[in-house]
Amino acid sequence: MLDNEEKLLEVIKNYFSLKKIHIVVTNKSDVAWKELEKNLPDCLVIDIIMPNNEGYNFIKNLKKSKDFQHIPFILLTAKGLTEDRILGYKLGCSAYISKPFDPEELEFIIKNIVLKNNLFLESMVENYILIKEIKFNLIKKYSDSIKSKLQFSLTSQEHYVLNQILLGDHTNNIALNLKVSKRNIEKYISRLLDKTQTKDIQDLKSLYWYTKRNSHRANDGNRTRE
């Protein structure tokens, strides 16, 4: 808790001590920041109206910090005007309390904020784990499908047709190079689709580039282990 009223800090510290709730109080922003770096709190209580804008500057630094910007904070101030409350919420405060106040009110506001924050974090972790599991299962399923599609052998003509397709060549040019009819090239393509269990040329290309990319990754991984 950061506040410039030492008597208030003493009252709050005594009250929370009786409730067996750990709280650190100070009237200096630099001391508060050092405490932040030593022990990450569940919640902060900050008096925004302090000499030299200490409270306001503390909040600005808090929001800029990647390490501390996620910490919920309560604004505690003697000002109770609507514009001051709006400013507080613009700064990102979770709650706004005007002095004078009952320490018990502050206690339950803190407890509610911490509870909601913990529930949110738990939900984020659960969703992350779920997404990872879904992604893993999809990749595994797709990889198994790819493996089954790669269990085939190609004739020399089919190899040539496949290479030309991957290079973007047209069936007419492929037919001229092989000195066969366009109809024969279409038969080769049909066989390629059957053997690779792909539905069209675009699907066939996707299969090829997928396997090639993963082959490179596997080789890179082997070189790294060596």
Q: What is the CATH number of the domain that holds 118?
A: 3.40.50.2300
Structurally, the chain folds into a number of domains equal to 2
In this structure, is residue 132 part of a structural domain? no
Q: How many other C-beta atoms lie within 10 A of the C-beta of residue 222?
A: 9
Burial (CB < 10 A; 0-12, 13-18, 19+), residue 96, is: buried
Query: Do both 10 and 119 map to the same domain?
Result: yes
Spatial distance between the Cα atoms of 156 and 178, rounded to a whole number of angstroms: 11
Query: Do both 11 and 119 map to the same domain?
Result: yes
Residues 6+ apart with CB under 8 A from 44: 1, 2, 62, 71, 72, 73, 74
Query: Do both 75 and 38 map to the same domain?
Result: yes
Query: pLDDT-based confidence at 24, cuts 50/70/90?
Result: very high
- Least confident range from 152-161, 179-188, 202-211: namely 202-211
pLDDT value, residue 224: 46
**Helical segments of the chain, H only:** 6-18, 29-38, 54-64, 82-90, 103-149, 156-166, 171-178, 182-196, 201-225
Spatial distance between the Cα atoms of 80 and 214, rounded to a whole number of angstroms: 62
pLDDT value, residue 38: 85
What is the token pair recorded at 26?
């100070």
- Least confident range from 39-53, 62-76, 118-132, 206-220: namely 206-220
pLDDT value, residue 1: 93
pLDDT value, residue 156: 73
Which residue range is the domain that position 66 belongs to? 6-123
Q: Is the pLDDT of residue 196 over 80?
A: no
Query: Do both 77 and 117 map to the same domain?
Result: yes
Query: Do both 77 and 13 map to the same domain?
Result: yes
* Full-model pTM: 0.53
Query: Do both 69 and 105 map to the same domain?
Result: yes
Spatial distance between the Cα atoms of 219 and 202, rounded to a whole number of angstroms: 26
In this structure, is residue 1 part of a structural domain? no
